[in-house]
Amino acid sequence: MPNLGIMELVLILFIVLVVFGAGKLPQLGDALGRSIRNFKRASSAKDEIDVTPKKEITDNSLDPKSVESKRS
């Protein structure tokens, strides 16, 4: 990846200023900062979704042997 010098950064800033306008630059910076903060938080935090298998709940009332014993 090439190194960016001062002139390249000024040119990029000028293009962004022309495309988005001076009024939108603070909102873009704020959104970019929040995005980076959320990405760092998400990449360093442990997974919030628990994917461990759960034990099956058995219902003895559906067991054929218990149904037959109830009939007798």
> What's the mean pLDDT in 28-39?
92
Check pLDDT > 70 for residue 11: yes
CA count, 13 A, side-chain hemisphere, 34: 6
Q: What is the mean pLDDT of the chain?
A: 79
Tell me which amino acid residue 55 is: K
Helices 6-20 and 25-44, axial angle in degrees (round to 10): 110
Contact 31, 23 (CB under 8 A): no
User: Confidence class of residue 43 from pLDDT cuts 50, 70 and 90?
Assistant: confident
Q: How far is CA 40 from the centre of its chain?
A: 10
pLDDT at 16 over 60: yes
pLDDT reading at 47 higher than 60? yes
Q: What is the predicted pLDDT for the residue at 4?
A: 81
